[in-house]
Structure 1
Amino acid sequence: MNITGEQKMLAILAHLAYLLGGLGFIVAPLIIFLLKKDDPFVYEHAKQALIAHLAILVLSIITSLLCMIVIGVLLLPVIALLWLLLLVTSVIAAVKAINGEYYEYPLIQKLVQKL
């Protein structure tokens, strides 16, 4: 399979969209996911990134809510580690995309397969 530069750039953008700030880390992979359903390479990368980013967002929101009742303070290091894990795995995914390879984020594959 011959992967074009555009395909690689879209896949990289999906994985590293958190660099856009705000909700860009959800919006960018979602748009790519919806617009590139006919491109298996870009679609799979966008799907992996979207699920990983949504999982981190949901866990962060839950922890923030729990912080209001003090319990969440204990979870802050866990969330920090999860964000670090997202950073590391998304860089790995971007490198895989540059090389024209697929990547699967750890821990979320059951969610990805349902989508």
Structure 2
Amino acid sequence: MLNLIKGGLIIEVTGEQKLLAILAHIGYFLGGLGFIVAPLCIFLLKKEDPFVYEHAKQALVAHLVILIASAITSMLCFLLIGFLLMPILAIFWLMLFITSIIAAIKALDGQFYEYPMIQRFVTKI
């Protein structure tokens, strides 16, 4: 059990909490829409747990942003414009992979993590 201080509150982080937080970040290894379903379920079911809730919220927003970007790029491929965006989308996917691994390591250490460039969306939830 690890004690973590956030906003003046002392939070005790257990192994189960760490596991759920890690699962939220690396849910894309589940295949299909697991990268959305895993953090969404954890986000909805663990609202009373600030550590798991914050990790699930960060992961959910990051995964939704990449899903929306992928869908838009796919639709634009019909107009042949999307093919020009494919390298940029590949870079975004690589960034998601790297940042989610970093987030999972932070969760394993019992620390909070904020994905870069999406905090404006996260604060609205």
**Greater RCO (Cα-Cα under 8 Å, separation 6 or more):** 1
Larger Rg: 2
Q: Distance in 2 between matches of 1:111 and 1:66?
A: 24
> 1:28, CA displacement in angstroms?
0.6
> TM-score, structure 1 length as denominator?
0.99
TM alignment of 1:1-115, pairs within 5 A: 1-115=11-125
Alignment coverage as a number of residue pairs: 115
Alpha-carbon RMSD: 0.4
Q: Percent identity?
A: 67
> TM-score, structure 2 length as denominator?
0.91
Write 1 or 2 for the structure with the bigger share of helix: 1
> 1:2, CA displacement in angstroms?
2.1
Instruction: List, as ranges, runs of 4+ consecutive aligned residues in structure 1 with deviation greater than 2 Å.
Output: none
SS in 2 for 1:114: coil
Structure 2 segments unaligned to the other structure (5+ residues): 1-10
Q: Distance in 2 between matches of 1:71 and 1:14?
A: 33
Q: Distance in 2 between matches of 1:110 and 1:70?
A: 31
Write 1 or 2 for the structure with the bigger share of strand: 2
Structure 1 segments unaligned to the other structure (5+ residues): none
Amino acid at match of 2:113: Y
